[in-house]
Amino acid sequence: MTKIVIIGAGSAMFARQLITDVLSIDGLEQGEFALVDIDPVRLELSRSLAEKVIQLKQKNWVVHASTERHTALQHADFVINTIEVAGLPNVRFDYEIPLRFGVDQCIGDTIGPGGIFKALRTAPTWLEILRDCEQLCPKALVLNYTNPMSILTQTALNATTMKVVGLCHSVQGTSYELAEHLGVPHKEMQFRLAGLNHNAWFLELRHNNQDLYPLLHQRAKSPEVYEKDPVRFEIMKHLGAFVTESSGHFSEYIPYFRKRSDLLEQYMRSGYKGESGFYANNWIRWRTEHDARVPKMLSGEETIPLERSQEYASNIIEAVLLNRETTIYGNVLNHGYISNLPNGCIEIACVVNQNGLHPQPFGALPEQLAALNRAHMAVNNLVVQAILEQSKQAAKYALMIDPLTAAVCSPKEIDTLFETMWAAQALYLEHYQ
Cβ proximity of 374 and 341 under 8 Å: yes
Instruction: Determine the pLDDT at residue 12.
Output: 86
Instruction: Determine the pLDDT at residue 318.
Output: 98
Q: What's the CA gap between 307 and 304, in Å, rounded?
A: 9
**Signed CA dihedral, 399, 401, 406, 410: sign only:** positive
Cβ proximity of 394 and 354 under 8 Å: no
Q: Read off φ and ψ for residue 272, nearest 5 degrees.
A: -70, 0
**What's the number of domains the chain is made of?**
1
The pairing of beta strand 345-353 with beta strand 356-359: antiparallel
Give the CATH number for residue 122.
3.40.50.720
Indicate whether 113 belongs to any domain: yes
Indicate whether 192 belongs to any domain: no
H helices of 29-146, in order, are: 40-57, 69-73, 87-100, 112-136
pLDDT digits (tens, 9 = 90+) for 347-366: 999 999 999 999 999 999 99
Taking the model in full, what pTM does it have?
0.98
Q: What's the CA gap between 8 and 34, in Å, rounded?
A: 11
Indicate whether 189 belongs to any domain: no
| 124: nearest Cα among 93, 158, 87, 152 | 152
Indicate whether 423 belongs to any domain: no
The pairing of beta strand 210-211 with beta strand 199-207: antiparallel
Indicate whether 222 belongs to any domain: no
Secondary structure in 3-state letters for 145-192: CCCCHHHHHHHHHHHCCCEEEECCCHHHHHHHHHHHHHCCCHHHEEEE
Three-class secondary structure of residue 9 per DSSP: coil
Indicate whether 173 belongs to any domain: no
State the residue range of the domain holding 55.
3-92+107-168
Q: What share of the chain is helix, strand, coil (3-state, %, to 5)?
A: 50, 15, 30
**Cβ of 112: how many Cβ atoms within 10 Å?**
26
**Which residues of the chain carry a pLDDT beneath 70?**
none
Q: Read off φ and ψ for residue 185, nearest 5 degrees.
A: -65, 130
Q: What's the CA gap between 349 and 358, in Å, rounded?
A: 9
The pairing of beta strand 345-353 with beta strand 326-333: antiparallel
Cβ proximity of 199 and 373 under 8 Å: yes
Question: How far does Cα 190 stand from its chain's mean position?
Answer: 23
Indicate whether 76 belongs to any domain: yes
pLDDT digits (tens, 9 = 90+) for 218-235: 999 999 999 999 999 999
Indicate whether 370 belongs to any domain: no
- Catalogue the active-site residues: 169
- Containing H/E element for 347? strand 345-353
